Amino acid sequence: MTKPKTQAQLDQITSKRLMKNYGITLEKYREMCKSRNDVCWICGKPPGKVRLSVDHDHSWKKVKIRTEKTKYDNWKAEATYHEVTYTCFHKKRSGAVLEIKGYLKRASVRGILCSWCNRGLRYYHDKPELLRSASEYLKKHQGVK
């Protein structure tokens, strides 16, 4: 039988996961939740047994990262994501690329959603036109038997 984890241990695990997956701290996550009264940003429902999910744009992984060596023997990494260009310098090429990936992860975070709304966006492939079409479909067939 495993020993139950303390709240501090659970927070530490959550903090590591948030940083690894989204580049944000647990404090930033809590701040985002508080900014909308701890409810889903789409449906407005509070979380049930599971925490609210971090919604993010997966397209950041497809952004091209350009690197070049500077005249000062540093590496410059640059990427443009949603019309914003991120640039960083590092002694090593891999360090510059990792730093840019961190910027892109943080920039990809959109909001805090319940698992149902987060899953729903995935099914519509993050395409607003599909969501609008689904909305029109539901309006058209509301109350039809």
Contact of 98 with 115, CB cutoff 8 Å: no
Does position 1 have pLDDT exceeding 80, yes or no?
no
Does position 145 have pLDDT exceeding 70, yes or no?
no
Does position 14 have pLDDT exceeding 80, yes or no?
yes
pLDDT band at 142 (very low <50, low <70, confident <90, very high): confident
Over residues 52-79, mean pLDDT:
95
Residue 108 exposed, middle or buried by CB count within 10 Å (0-12, 13-18, 19+): buried
Residue-wise pLDDT for 71-119, tens only, equals: 999 999 999 999 999 999 999 999 999 999 999 999 999 999 999 999 9
Over residues 15-20, mean pLDDT:
95
pTM, full prediction? 0.81
**Cα–Cα distance, 49 to 140 (Å, whole number):** 34
Radius of gyration of the chain (CA): 20
Residue-wise pLDDT for 36-54, tens only, equals: 999 999 999 999 888 999 9
